[in-house]
Amino acid sequence: MPDKKSPPPASAASRARVTDIAAAAGVSTATVDRVLNARPGVRAATMQKVMKAAAALNYLPESDLYKAMRPRPMQLVFLLPPRSNRYMQMLGDYIGFAEDHLAPFNVRCKYHHIEGFNPRVLAQRLLHHGRQADGVAFMALEHPLVREAVNTLAEQGVHVVTLISDLSNSRRAAYVGMDNRAAGRTAGYLLARFLDREITHPGAAFKSGKPGKIAMIAGSLSYRGHEEREMGFQHVLEELCPQVQVVGLREGHDDADTNYKQARILLEQYPDLAGMYNIGGASDGVGRALRECGRDQKVVFIGHGLTPDTRGLLIDGTMDAVLTQHPQNMIMNCVRIFTNLRERRDALAGVEAVRISVILRENLP
């Protein structure tokens, strides 16, 4: 009788089990399970032994092995001021649709818009979201509660990056944003030059020897960045235009309606107001006040953050210049810093400093 054909051998993949991998790697089945399912708590050397054993037993296709060997994605959270600040809305929107750009960095990014002017709420949100993440980026308020929250996260191994406005004497890993003092000086220089242009016009305030008046609106001077902009602005005006009188520094909390009210009060209080500097966001509120008072083509207006609103104000001549930092560069710099920290490199390795871009009507991108 002819010999019966023996059944084809079972594939190595069907024979190999988790217990086989554990035995080959010299580890427990629980460790194998953690490695194959990309769970934390396994040393890199142990993970490599498990993956080599799984590869030798043909337990997983090569593509799956590569995915399993890849480190767990870094969980990053961005805490941003409310969406009423259009620039912050743009930052959040970029995080939302930049997943493909961020894929090579092996990170997963989320963002939340939170109360940005209450230090107690900000500290609470920092601790809440930070304990569920590997890294947190946020716009800092200069306050002991916020500083303590940052230091607590640092002690727990959570990396913290300050965004746009820095935090002094804290354990944050890095700051991402423009040099705010230089930004304030730039705004002051631009305003001085625009005012100098106005001096040549008949009837200009400076022509008769009367001092011009300049007003400022800040989001909040609890933001170190806004305080530094104000200082730089005032210093350069003192150098270039000692005859200018700076009046009425107000806080508008980056809210368009509040900025509108503050600007209306300033315009009514100072009929000879020659210039205005909006240190924070929501310049559209200031622009609305200038237009309603018929002063939009007479008062030199400098602000921050290129958004659809400020773009429109530049085009119609209400604003003279906008200082901005590109949202995509800000987010990518944060991600590069967090990646450097994960790889135990210097936080700023390969990270370019944020440049101050001066946008005028004639060079709008």
Q: What are the residue ranges of helices labelled H in 73-133?
A: 86-97, 99-102, 119-130
Q: Where are the beta strands (DSSP E) in 192-278?
A: 213-218, 245-251, 273-278
Report yes or no: 307 and 90 within 8 Å, Cβ to Cβ.
Answer: yes
Pair 331, 351: CB distance under 8 Å = no
The identity of residue 109, as a single letter, is C
The answer to pTM > 0.85 is: no
Distance CA 258, CA 273 (A): 19
CATH superfamily membership of 12-69: lambda repressor-like DNA-binding domains (1.10.260.40)
Q: Cβ–Cβ contacts within 10 Å for residue 131, how many?
A: 12
CATH superfamily, domain 74-177+327-354, is: Response regulator (3.40.50.2300)
**From first to last of its 365 residues, what are the pLDDT tens digits of the chain?**
444 444 444 444 456 788 888 998 899 998 888 887 767 677 767 877 888 888 788 876 655 665 655 667 899 999 999 888 899 999 999 998 888 888 889 999 999 999 878 999 999 999 999 999 999 999 999 999 999 999 999 999 999 999 999 999 999 999 999 999 999 999 999 999 998 754 433 334 333 334 589 999 999 989 999 999 999 999 999 999 888 899 989 999 999 999 999 999 999 999 999 999 999 999 999 999 999 999 999 999 999 999 999 999 999 999 999 999 999 999 999 999 999 999 899 999 999 999 999 999 999 99
Domain 180-324, CATH: 3.40.50.2300
Q: Which residues pair with 161 in a beta bridge?
A: 137, 174
Per domain, the residue ranges of the chain are 12-69, 74-177+327-354, 180-324
